[in-house]
Amino acid sequence: MLQFVLRRLLLAIPTLIGVTIVTFVLLHLAPGGPALALAGEKATPQQVAIITHELGLDRPWPQQYAIWLSALLHGDLGFSYIRQQPVLALIAERLPQTLLLMGTAIAASIAVAVPLGVYQAYRRNSLFDRTASAAVFVAWSMPTFWFGTLLIAVFAVTLRWLPVGGLQTIDTTAFDWPSRFAHLTLPAATLAIVSMAGWSRYVRGSMVEQLREDYARTAVAKGLPQHRVLFRHTLRNAIIPFITLLGGTVPALFGGAVITEQIFAYPGMGQLFWQSATDRDYATLLGMTVITAVLVVLGNLMADVLYGVFDPRVRYD
Amino acid sequence: MTEAAEEPRSRRLRITFVAALGMLWIAAAAIACAAGPSVLHVNAYATDVAHAYDAPSRVHALGTDGLGRDELARLLQGGRITLSVGIVAALVSMFIGTVYGAVSGYYGAWLDTLLMRVVDVLLSIPTLFLLLLLAAMFHGSLLALMLVIGATSWLGPARLVRGEVLTLKERLFVEAARSIGAANSRIIFRHVVPNAAGTIVTTTTFMIASAMLAETALSYLGIGVRAPTPSWGNLLSSAQSDIFAGAWWLIGPPGLAILLSVCAFNFVGDWLREST
């Protein structure tokens, strides 16, 4: 097991190096560049040239990349000249907010998707199943920002139950759970809608399959109560492939967070990424991509490890 | 696939109700958007400031926007743009994905390992991050938008096609083609890929749906289709601020148009997947 984790971690290294190269090259293909963004629109070409030289942006790419990578290995993600802050500090400030948002969204998705999928599979082809399937399809096709806007229009503007956006009530400085939770509800619902739909479809499909298996029929035949067959027998088998799916959702959630955080003015990674992209803040963009890729790789690894925990038939060799 | 065990085989090939609805909607939307503007004699670009923010009336069935432009005309014109962005971007991504996946799966060995590692690397970066970076860089023409969306969404199709090719290349007809001396490129694109058509067509349908959603997301962020050209995405995104001007009638139509069209393509894709 330990050996498996270690080997997977070793295999992750080339992937992460690949991510840094792709991002690095991509960012340097961009027209303009940070020097121009930093110097401002009115800067003379000479001023831009000076800044370019000071930032080392006039050196060849491989050299710039090597400098950046060796700093990274020393725990230095670079410095955002536009924000005048180390990239690591910027990310450290935003990452917990996004992880909280994503965690809430994942928890909400599972809490809805699993029971819904199980019940649909149990009552398959019933009116409820068909209606729910159609509703899930609509949710799956939802443009996220439209859904978010509708939520704001209904729950924040019309009913005034929940805040329009932000992290917590502006005039409170202390950490306030009820306020935080209220501010988290609408963004998390927006972020969760698509994964919720995808997952409930998946759980339904895989439960239907498991309920057809011989062991499920045997369990019913020997007189076990329905709920026991459903939750003790078939769900445990149906949920296993779902775990891999969960691990693979991390990048999509990070992507979804860009839109969601924009709608709700939620100060997380997504917002930082979008702001950095518009500011051409390359150092921050690079740092964020690397951190996100690390989280994605870890997410996949965790899914693989959990796979073995839930399915004792899996052996790591 | 799983349903088939209980039902007679003929049932599998029959079209489902929702898939029929989906096809009907796609056909109706395509015809309306293609023919609508000229049949109705409306212009999506003609401004009329005296009639800015007119509520729906007999003259303007869906009202007007902040510049007095007819919303129905903009919706139909926007449909042309969004549907073509969706379709072209999906074709671009399927083309890249099919060639990449087929080559990777067919040749196997170290080339397959290498190509799939590249896919792993790109999959570790959230697609929207890449999409944002590229769209911000090449913001401008419609063609660039289509290419950018296509260039960031071929990873899934590549994996699917590769998986399909891995099993197809062991089939007898491949061996037969090889035995009569067909070149690898001919085997791949004349024998193997056509046999993966089911997967490819199904995936294309889903890719159109997701490319349309990508267009709306980028337009929401202001780096999608450029004003004054309407698209369902930027109509919806500008409608969000128009709400504050009291123009409630602008938010529904583009949102519903996107939702129903994406849904329609997904329904058709789902039916195709179930029946192949």
Residue B207: pLDDT band with limits 50, 70, 90: very high
Give pLDDT, residue B121: 87
Residue B6: pLDDT band with limits 50, 70, 90: very low
CA–CA min distance A194, chain B (Å): 12
What is the residue whose two structure tokens read 């590229």? B134
Closest CA to B22 of B209, B157, B200, B255: B209
Report CA-CA distances (Å) from A242 to A235, A236, A306: 11, 10, 11
> What number is the ipTM of this complex?
0.81
CA–CA min distance B262, chain A (Å): 6
Nearest by CB: B266 against A23, A137, A293? A137
Give pLDDT, residue B2: 45
Give pLDDT, residue B98: 92
Cα B192 from Cα B190, distance rounded (Å): 6
Amino acid at B73: A
Residue B208: pLDDT band with limits 50, 70, 90: very high
Cα B96 from Cα A22, distance rounded (Å): 18
Average the pLDDT over B111-131 and give the result. 87
Report CA-CA distances (Å) from B38 to A16, A292, B43: 53, 48, 8
Q: Do B258 and A146 touch (CB under 8 A)?
A: yes
Instruction: Specify whether the CB–CB gap between A234 and A62 falls below 8 A.
Output: no
Element holding A219 (H helix, E strand): helix A214-221
Residue B54: pLDDT band with limits 50, 70, 90: low
Per-residue pLDDT at B41 exceeds 70: no
Tokens of A311: 């399915």
How many Cβ pairs closer than 8 A exist between chain A and B? Answer: 119
Q: For chain B, give the mean pLDDT.
A: 82
* Residue B127, number of CB atoms within 10 A of its CB: 20
Closest CA to A268 of A86, A87, A90, A85: A90
Closest CA to B175 of B164, B187, B185: B187
Residue A212: pLDDT band with limits 50, 70, 90: confident
In chain B, where the domains are located: 12-37+69-275
Q: Do B216 and A143 touch (CB under 8 A)?
A: yes
What's the full length of chain A, in residues? 317
Q: Do A255 and B129 touch (CB under 8 A)?
A: yes
Task: For residue range B220-234, list pLDDT tens digits in order.
Answer: 888 878 778 888 888
Higher-pLDDT residue of A32 and B198 is B198
Higher-pLDDT residue of A237 and A57 is A237
For the ranges A33-37, B29-33, B177-181, which has the lowest average pLDDT?
A: A33-37
Element holding A167 (H helix, E strand): none
* Residue ranges with strand state E in chain A: 79-80, 85-86
Per-residue pLDDT at B59 exceeds 70: no
- pTM of the complete model: 0.84
What is the residue whose two structure tokens read 């099993």? B167
One-character DSSP codes across A14-63: HHHHHHHHHHHHHHHHSSS-HHHHHH-TT--HHHHHHHHHHTTTTS-HHH
Residue B60: pLDDT band with limits 50, 70, 90: low
Which residues contact residue B64 at a Cβ distance below 8 angstroms, ignoring those fewer than 6 apart? B48, B51, B52, B53, B54, B70, B71
Per-residue pLDDT at B136 exceeds 80: no
Per-residue pLDDT at A1 exceeds 60: yes
Cα A124 from Cα B26, distance rounded (Å): 28
Please name the residue of chain A whose CA is at the shortest distance from the CA of residue B221: A259
Cα B252 from Cα B246, distance rounded (Å): 13
- Most B CBs within 10 A among A120, A146, A290, hence the mutation to make, goes to A146
Instruction: Specify whether the CB–CB gap between A278 and A30 falls below 8 A.
Output: no
Q: Do B121 and A262 touch (CB under 8 A)?
A: no
Cα A138 from Cα A135, distance rounded (Å): 5
Residue A247: pLDDT band with limits 50, 70, 90: confident
Q: What are the chain A neighbours of B132 within 8 Å (beta carbons)? A: 258, 273-274, 277
Average the pLDDT over A78-97 and give the result. 83
Give pLDDT, residue B61: 67
Q: In chain B, what is the straight-line distance between the N-terminal and C-terminal CA atoms, in Å? A: 8
Cα A219 from Cα A212, distance rounded (Å): 11
Peptide bond before residue A31 is cis, with ω within 30 degrees of 0: no
Cα B148 from Cα B211, distance rounded (Å): 10
Task: For residue range B162-196, list pLDDT tens digits in order.
Answer: 988 888 888 888 888 888 888 888 888 888 888 88
Most confident of A101-105, A182-186, B71-75: A101-105
Amino acid at B202: T
Which CATH class, in words, describes the domain spanning B12-37+69-275?
mainly alpha
- Most B CBs within 10 A among A145, A193, A291, hence the mutation to make, goes to A145
Q: pLDDT > 90: what percent of chain A?
A: 2
Per-residue pLDDT at A26 exceeds 60: yes
Q: For chain A, give the mean pLDDT.
A: 81
Give pLDDT, residue B4: 44
